[in-house]
Structure 1
Amino acid sequence: MPRKRPSSRGSARGHAAPKKLSRSLPTRKRLSPSAWIAVITTGVVIGSSLTAYAAYVDITGGINRENVNTDAFGDRPSKVEGVVNIMIVGSDKRDGANAEYGDAEGERPDTLAIAHISPKKKSATIVNLPRDSIVQLPACKQKGDEYPGSDAQQGMINSAMSYGGVDCQWDTVEKLTDIRIDHFVSVDFTGFKGMVDALGGVEMCIPQKIHDPKAGGLELDAGKQTLNGEDALGYVRSRKGQGDGSDLMRIGRQQEFMASMVRKVLSGDTLKSPSNLYAFLNEVTGSITTDDELTVDTMADIAIAMREVDLNDVNFVTVPNHPWEQNNNRVAWDEPDAQQLFQAIATDEYGGEKDKASSDDSGDDAKDVKPGDVSVEVLNGTGMTNLATQVSGILSERGFGVSGTGNPQGIVPEASTIYHGPDGKAAAELLAKEVTNATLQEDSSLSGNSLRLVMSRDWNGFKTAGATGDVPDTVKSKSAASKPSAC
């Protein structure tokens, strides 16, 4: 059945935060968004080698796990077959080995991002959701004594964690982006430093001398150099000591660090030496928390998918944004640009080389087929009244020809299906870009660009007009293969 979209994303504005959160916080030493993502991305990329070592089970056994009740979220975005979306959380909790980074009550993510892994496109896209984003937060239920819950309200996106823990943050991200989240991963400060040291440091080109007392007393000379864990931690969270001091400019520098870190893992000795790999993974697993459904087998599946991903197809983007009109230290998302990006991610239309999404035998004809060249017979197998008529009208508006409507004869396929003839695959792929979910199947009774669309009970409608993977120019992408300017 089609998913019912929530009628509201929260409308009660100006709601006061619970008293527990109304406090004066000390200056925080924050690990930056891209630094957290470097930890997760690198761990996932190298995971393809995990099963080669007997230490695999011992290492993964050190991961902390947390139960997340996604059934309580209500209506959720649709799941895209094969795709894995991971919510990345950089927790700012200060306890245990992280106590040296200051005292802070409660928990708000320093970082929030979505890692979108697409085996079909052989790509991975990491979308930064700036922690200072002002959004409409949904209501959160109280969770034990630690999380007080809250009504729907306007606030910073990372406040959801303070109100209702990971459950609330997960639900908030899904409702704001309409992207189905499959898992979450959280990393701490100590793990980041340990990973960098386990790699033997990460080489960076520092354009000018850095002196930043607020980043742990960071002192770096200009030029090419290898940063150890402590210096790397200072570098990725340094803001006032570099450039214009803005958080957005810092994100750009951090993405360069992240790319260098991933390149070192893939090109160095980490994957070649069991001892090096074991040391590196010990730092990863000892400092992360995941949902309890991110099992060893699931990690292995993700690792296998990532093994096929080229560095050029590991990309990092930040949600298009602008200073919030009521406070320039906060940001608001650019619309409709942000939603167009989210939709492209949600439907697996963004990332990778577009031709990779099609099979090798699709040839160059796909780009030459236009909607006006295609004729579609629309058959309604959902049991919903007048759906075929409605769909045929939308197809006509989008330039497709409609040869007829009706109900399918015989057995209705479990999944909505676009049938095409031996020479009609390019036309079927063009139609598939318009609908939210449909599989392709060859039918020798069809010829040319004549298609048959059979809508089954999983039918979920059309994508927004024009949303075929193209996103606005305001969405800037940076590849893991890109290198910073030479010193």
Structure 2
Amino acid sequence: MALISVVILGTTGYAWGTFRNLNSGLQGNDVINETLTAPDGATDILLIGNDSRTDAQGNPLPDEVLSKLRASDDGGGDLTDTMILVRIPNGGQRASAVSFPRDTRVEMPENYGTHKLNSAYARAKAEAADNLKQQGLTDQQVIEQRATTRGQKFLIKTIERISGVHIDHYAEVNLLGFYRVTKVIGGVKVCLKNPVDDSEYSGAVFPAGPQVIKGADALAFVRQRHGLPRGDLDRIVRQQVFMSALAKKILSRGTLSNPAKLSELVDALKDSIVLDKDWDILSFAQKMQGIAAGNIKFHTIPLERTGGSGKITIDRQEVQRFVDNLLLPPAERKARQQAAAAAEEKRSRTTVNVYNASDVGGLAGRVLDNLTNEGFDRGVSANADSPMSQSVVRYAPGEQAVAKLAASELGGLATEASDTVESGSVEVYLGSAYSGPGTRNFAGDRTVRLDGMQQSKPRPAQQPHPRQQDQGKQPITAGGVPCVN
């Protein structure tokens, strides 16, 4: 939200005159990892909402401020409960914002293991602080600054690993910043399908229907997850509709035509956000002047729920394809989405045959069980005619899309066309290097991959299970105000 505010500051000459000193007043940290040699066709920005009870300089918030925010002083703990990747293709005429659910379990880099995504920042920060103290450093302010930078850099690295993109810029806003900016702009219009009363947790108490919210109410609106049908996933939708409404209001220029509001917004931004130190925010804003409200779209990464909102897994390759496709022109992106939907529709009508080209006994049968559980039609399992080192999914000419679905279920295997494969079927050949679903540990349990990391899991009953996937929905745009849970 703070980033959108800054971007729009470049739309009038008066705004430029007012905000010339903005860069000098913003907190900047050296957090961006080394630059890639080849550009990816976009400016990629990671936006973070931090649940810490400090200001942009790391100072603890006073009790009276926490009371206004309806936040206790023992909550938070540097948990990044809002993580949004903004992709702006070269040219700056449109933008895509992609939310990463806080409870998504991911394999973190640097051997940190598999944890909830929102803990990456805090884990790396805490470890860095401990190391600095062990090295004899006693200045708490220096420890906090260095450890915070380490946490930010590690979170960026984790999101880069998941999304497959290089993060160009970083912006972080805390609870106080969100509160202040929403008050400055006079609130935004939102709409609820049903009344809510979450006074025990977030403090969200709202009637059904359209309403204008700001300050503590706005913070409660985007923080509530208790009592929502899908927990944090519905909270993400709340955040997206709020940001879309904010963008619509600011893009109307009502805020920018008011000198007093502009001055307040400058002050709020300086106390609210932390940027990477090399980001010339005003030059960036000048390039983004062509963005209109309807050209800002909000998405959520493809994910699969295996239970409540706290049990979310992802296929990293699928996420990377999704993020990469956001750079495509809208017409081409729609065509690809339609092709993917058509392939998914063919899943249950595609017969899968699995051949064991490794020396692991019974592997083909277990992999066939897995693919059948994922909705494919059961074919045969057998040994291959000759051993292979690498695995491959072969398909009839013109049927690559459904083959890629099967390949993705097995950890991202290679695919290739073959004239010997019958139309309406795929053939999976499992080489000696295969380590995806269907392999066994010494106890005999099936091992499945969660975002590239093997974990033991009891073998399920051989029957199809419902695929609870949150993807393919229409993105939220800044052109309207939809009613949400």
- TM-score when scaled to structure 2? 0.58
1:253 matched residue in structure 2: 238
Instruction: Tell me the CA shift for residue 68 of structure 1.
Output: 2.1
1:239 matched residue in structure 2: 225
Instruction: Tell me the CA shift for residue 247 of structure 1.
Output: 1.5
Across the two proteins, how many residue pairs are aligned to each other? 313
Q: What RMSD over aligned residues (CA atoms) do the two structures have, in Å?
A: 3.1
Q: Tell me the secondary structure at the aligned position of residue 57 of structure 1.
A: coil
Counterpart check, 1:214 vs 2:173: no
1:86 matched residue in structure 2: 45
| Mapping of residues 400-411 of structure 1, within 5 Å | none
Contact map agreement 2:18 2:262 (CA 8 A) in 1? no
- Structure 2: distance between partners of 1:84 and 1:192: 24
2:107 matched residue in structure 1: 136
1:194 matched residue in structure 2: 180
- Give the counterpart of 2:189 among 203, 225, 242: 203
1:309 matched residue in structure 2: 291
Instruction: Tell me the CA shift for residue 121 of structure 1.
Output: 6.3
Instruction: Tell me the CA shift for residue 301 of structure 1.
Output: 3.0
Q: Tell me the secondary structure at the aligned position of residue 95 of structure 2.
A: strand
2:96 matched residue in structure 1: 125
Q: 1:213 to 1:195 in 2, by over 3 A?
A: same
1:58 matched residue in structure 2: 21
- Give the counterpart of 2:167 among 172, 181, 188: 181
Instruction: Tell me the CA shift for residue 234 of structure 1.
Output: 0.9
| Mapping of residues 418-457 of structure 1, within 5 Å | none
Q: What is the aligned-residue identity percentage?
A: 25
- Give the counterpart of 1:267 among 229, 236, 252: 252
1:332 matched residue in structure 2: 313
- Structure 1: distance between partners of 2:200 and 2:8: 32
Q: Tell me the secondary structure at the aligned position of residue 86 of structure 2.
A: strand
Contact map agreement 2:233 2:309 (CA 8 A) in 1? no
Instruction: Tell me the CA shift for residue 226 of structure 1.
Output: 1.9
Question: Given residue 264 of structure 1, which amino acid in structure 2 is its aligned partner?
Answer: K
Instruction: Tell me the CA shift for residue 318 of structure 1.
Output: 0.4
Q: Tell me the secondary structure at the aligned position of residue 279 of structure 2.
A: coil
- Give the counterpart of 1:163 among 115, 123, 129: 123
1:118-145 alpha-carbon deviations (Å, 9 max, x no partner)? 2436110111111111111111xxxxxx
Instruction: Tell me the CA shift for residue 233 of structure 1.
Output: 0.9
Instruction: Please list every run of 5 or more consecutive structure 1 residues that lacks an aligned counterpart in the other structure.
Output: 1-37, 140-150, 356-396, 399-471
Contact map agreement 1:214 1:238 (CA 8 A) in 2? no
Q: 1:217 to 1:161 in 2, by over 3 A?
A: closer
- Structure 2: distance between partners of 1:105 and 1:480: 29
Q: 1:47 to 1:161 in 2, by over 3 A?
A: farther
- Structure 1: distance between partners of 2:282 and 2:296: 19
Instruction: Tell me the CA shift for residue 256 of structure 1.
Output: 1.9
Q: 1:159 to 1:224 in 2, by over 3 A?
A: closer
- Give the counterpart of 2:79 among 105, 108, 112: 108
- Structure 2: distance between partners of 1:172 and 1:217: 31
Q: 1:70 to 1:339 in 2, by over 3 A?
A: closer
- Give the counterpart of 1:478 among 436, 458, 476: 476
Instruction: Tell me the CA shift for residue 261 of structure 1.
Output: 1.4
Question: Given residue 313 of structure 2, which amino acid in structure 1 is its aligned partner?
Answer: A
Instruction: Tell me the CA shift for residue 78 of structure 1.
Output: 4.0
Instruction: Tell me the CA shift for residue 48 of structure 1.
Output: 3.8
Question: Given residue 292 of structure 1, which amino acid in structure 2 is its aligned partner?
Answer: K
Counterpart check, 1:42 vs 2:5: yes
Q: 1:335 to 1:52 in 2, by over 3 A?
A: closer
Q: 1:55 to 1:86 in 2, by over 3 A?
A: same
